[in-house]
A and B are shown apart, each in its own frame.
Chain A
Amino acid sequence: MSEDQIKNLEAQFEARIARDEKIEPKDWMPEKYRQTHIRQISQHAHSEIVGMLPEGNWITRAPSLRRKVALLAKVQDEAGHGLYLYSACETLGVSREELYDQLHTGKAKYSSIFNYPTITWADIGAIGWLVDGAAIINQVPLCNTSFGPYARAMIRVCKEESFHQRQGYEIMMTLANGTPEQKEMAQDALNRWWWPSLMMFGPTDAESVHTAQSMKWKLKRKTNDELRQQFVDQTVPQAELIGLTIPDDDLKWNDKRKSYDFGPIDWDEFWQVVKGHGPMNKERMNARVSAWENGEWVRDAAVAYADKQKEYKSKQAV
């Protein structure tokens, strides 16, 4: 293809996106669009899978049968999200094995929030309320993103996430209305998860390298800072409602902006965790890698068995 032809294709492609048409896997797309989507969708899928670990940590210790069942169902939902996000990603011409390999070798990233430990039961509430709450704000705009398979996967993901968020908030509410020990447990969890949750929206707009291109492709509709503000404005009244205190002395309603002003984020901590040196980065990766390695003989056997069955059937046919 000549350069002019490619330019022409690109122009048509951008025009389609501008008209809000969906791009489907078999459509022509610029290589950069493909790569950006592989990066973002796989990162999202990895986050779901790694995210199963901190929550899975409390399945065996959940305080009641009802909570145990709800937590199991939630973690299973995350696995389901991982599954259809990997499938969406595979439509771009990359295999699940390759994607796992990128995760296991540290080439691909996942949401840094999952590198924090879940040390009390209240952390399960805080994750649902704050982490899933932040994820929804990030993800709702993606239901209208330009790449069809991703947009469709996100519609389902968002429905389930909003259920998780309510469930998490309900755990926090129960604790906040409980004994002084329970309330303290809830406050402690909020103190530990608040700032990492704000970091989930990524670096400030000035520092964000992908924002401009992503906005153009509708992978993003609002900037990191706008989304972060939306999260703060939404969450502060929820904390007040159940009598918990946001751990930020600078937090104040700004009547002019009709928004909350909040204190500075510790970006050194953010980069430390992103670069692999958070409290649980090593443990999370070890857990994923060993699940994969310990499962190798199982996957190999399944393939060998399927091959034998095929062979057996073709012999029968003869």
Chain B
Amino acid sequence: MEKKDLYNYILGIADNPLILGQRLGELCGHGPSLETDIACTNIALDLFGQTRSYFQYAAKIKGENATEDSIAFLRTEREYTNVLLVEQPNTDFAFTITRQFLFDVYHYLFLEQLQKSKDVNLSAIAHKAIKEVSYHQRFSSDWIKRLGDGTDESKKRMQNAVNDLWRYTDELFHTTESDEAMIAEGIGVDVKKLKNIYYSRINKILEDARLEIPESKWFQKGGKHGLHTEYMGYILSEMQYMQRTYPNMTW
């Protein structure tokens, strides 16, 4: 097994909670109610916690003085391999909650499989994370229904968000070379196999929410190969600000 493939594989997992947590962190104190504010912050906390577990493990594999922070903060944009979905902005609460929902359903299915990984570290992280993600999924699904079947305005906003973010869902089921290598080893999750169940779950909840399932077959991809949307550079300049401005310091 190539050490590099395992390292890349872990980053491919962990960059998603990292960037999604970063997006949720922007909202802290600006939510539509105190209760949703607390819930979104809570989800961000879970996601960063998971990110740290993955990066601490990745740092050990990499060696050469790598730390969770050097991995989180000191890569170039092309080296981040999160999916495009998680870097999309908090346009309004409909976008925030739809982005969350589209990711949570995938995240849960993914962790279910990762629990069975032959890599004991990844399996252990998955066992812990899935409990958290099960709550995330319930929270975002409930809000999809509430807002989809709430008022005319909320329905319009939700449909708009679903239509807009739909194009980023297909990428969740793409694999990279490192992914394939890890699947072959029994370490990685074959996400291609999750696609059908993902869409059937998503569609069921959208139907419950009386929202239309987009028909578009045009999808975007690239995140997994480090090709991001224009938003990514701004996310990173903010996130990396301290580490770049004051290199090699302890905080």
* Residues on the A chain within 8 Å of B145, using CB: 305
Is A56 a contact partner of B31 (Cβ separation < 8 A)? Answer: no
A155 an interface residue at 8 Å Cβ cutoff?
no
How far is it, in angstroms, between the C-alpha of A56 and the C-alpha of B37 when the chains are bound? 12
**A residues whose Cβ falls under 8 Å from a Cβ of B:** 49, 52-53, 56, 59-69, 72-73, 75-76, 79-80, 82-83, 86, 121, 171, 174-175, 178-179, 181-182, 287, 290-291, 294-302, 304-305, 308
Is B28 a contact partner of A75 (Cβ separation < 8 A)? Answer: yes
Q: A75-B41, A287-B30, A305-B146 are in contact. Are A65 and B251 (CB under 8 A)?
A: no
Bits for B47-72, please: 1 = Cβ < 8 Å to A, else 0: 01101100100000000000011001
Query: 9 additional contacts, CB 8 Å, given A65-B52, A82-B34, A305-B150?
Result: A60-B239, A64-B73, A66-B52, A72-B48, A79-B29, A79-B37, A83-B34, A299-B32, A302-B146
Is A65 a contact partner of B32 (Cβ separation < 8 A)? Answer: no
Q: Is the interface of A mostly helix, strand, loop or mixed?
A: helix
- Taking a contact as CB atoms closer than 8 A, the residue among A49, A63, A69, A182 that contacts B52 in the complex is A69
Is B238 a contact partner of A174 (Cβ separation < 8 A)? Answer: no
B123 an interface residue at 8 Å Cβ cutoff?
no
Is A65 a contact partner of B48 (Cβ separation < 8 A)? Answer: yes
How far is it, in angstroms, between the C-alpha of A121 and the C-alpha of B243 when the chains are bound? 12
- Taking a contact as CB atoms closer than 8 A, the residue among A64, A69, A80, A299 that contacts B33 in the complex is A299
Is B238 a contact partner of A72 (Cβ separation < 8 A)? Answer: no
* Residues on the B chain within 8 Å of A299, using CB: 32-33
Residue with the greatest number of chain B CB neighbours at <10 A, chosen from A65, A298, A299: A298
How far is it, in angstroms, between the C-alpha of A62 and the C-alpha of B239 when the chains are bound? 7
Is A182 a contact partner of B147 (Cβ separation < 8 A)? Answer: no
Is B72 a contact partner of A294 (Cβ separation < 8 A)? Answer: no
Bits for B79-99, please: 1 = Cβ < 8 Å to A, else 0: 000000000000011000000
Is B29 a contact partner of A60 (Cβ separation < 8 A)? Answer: no
- Taking a contact as CB atoms closer than 8 A, the residue among B25, B31, B73, B251 that contacts A295 in the complex is B31
* Residues on the A chain within 8 Å of B69, using CB: 64-65
Q: A56-B28, A179-B249 are in contact. Are A295 and B93 (CB under 8 A)?
A: yes
How far is it, in angstroms, between the C-alpha of A175 and the C-alpha of B249 when the chains are bound? 9
* Residues on the B chain within 8 Å of A53, using CB: 29
B202 an interface residue at 8 Å Cβ cutoff?
no
